Amino acid sequence: MAGRFIVFEGGDCSGKDTQIDWLRDNLPADKFTFTKEPGGTAIGQRIRDLLLADSSNNMFSETELLLFSASRAQLVREIIRPELAKEKHLIVNRFFLSTLAYQIYGREKLEQLPLLEKITSLALDGTFPDLYIFIDVPPEVALRRLSDRPDEKNRLDKEDLTFHQRVHQGYLEGLKNLPHIKIDGTKSVEEVREDIINGLIKFFPDDGFEHFFKIAEVN
């Protein structure tokens, strides 16, 4: 059976990394591959370092958009397609929807949307996620969480509340056209996990997810 291509999305401090870590620790490694954006490949990691470094403060939004898309083009060809071809399920931390939310809505460049779609069509070349799992946390709550862990802030985290509000709006707009599950990220870590598990089982009723999670429970 073909593997499923699943993307986790959410603003900064949405808690998605914690949830993905749990899935990585509890789902069978021979059936699931985990990767992230930007990064996930050696080339992508170099692009990530460049994008998130404080020294990149004078980076233009067009440069950002192209670099995130470049990292995506590499990830699709180097990891996503080969893993799907091995019939593995893919869990990817961020994808196209992040660029729509951050570079188009966050950076207030709505006029560049048709261009982003063309660039994305080049980057993806027909490889689209089966499902986006969006962990929804109001930007005000996310920024409060972020201020509790100042050491972890990257260049984009340091944007102000209005930027993160536009990113949030971008997510909600983008989701309208994509297969997705929206999860309330203000709940406890355990409740969010439960919602993700139930969402996956319901969305992919014939892919054995229920079985994988039963094994995880036993362990």
Q: Which residues bind ligand TMP (CB under 6 A)?
A: 12, 37-38, 52, 68, 94, 98-99, 102-103, 154, 156-157
Closest chain position to ligand TMP (CB): 102
Shortest distance (Å) from residue 70 CB to ligand TMP: 11
Nearer of residues 114 and 206 to ligand TMP, judged by Cβ:
114
Which distant-in-sequence residues (6+ apart) come within 8 Å of 30 by Cβ? 88
Shortest distance (Å) from residue 162 CB to ligand TMP: 16
Q: Which two tokens stand for residue 93?
A: 């931390």
Nearer of residues 27 and 142 to ligand TMP, judged by Cβ:
142
Q: Give the C-alpha separation, 106 to 169, whole Å.
A: 9
Q: 209-218: which pairs have CB atoms within 8 A and are 24 or more residues apart?
A: 212/27, 212/28, 212/31, 215/28, 216/26, 216/27
Q: Give the C-alpha separation, 72 to 99, whole Å.
A: 10
Looking only at Cα atoms, what is the longest distance across the chain? 51
Shortest distance (Å) from residue 214 CB to ligand TMP: 30
Q: Give the C-alpha separation, 75 to 189, whole Å.
A: 29
Shortest distance (Å) from residue 215 CB to ligand TMP: 28
Nearer of residues 168 and 213 to ligand TMP, judged by Cβ:
168
Nearer of residues 87 and 152 to ligand TMP, judged by Cβ:
152
Strand pairing of 5-9 and 131-136? Answer: parallel
Shortest distance (Å) from residue 67 CB to ligand TMP: 9
Q: Give the C-alpha separation, 71 to 183, whole Å.
A: 27
Nearer of residues 177 and 219 to ligand TMP, judged by Cβ:
177
Query: What kind and span of H or E run contains 132?
Result: strand 131-136
Nearer of residues 158 and 214 to ligand TMP, judged by Cβ:
158
Q: Which two tokens stand for residue 72?
A: 């995506």
Shortest distance (Å) from residue 27 CB to ligand TMP: 20
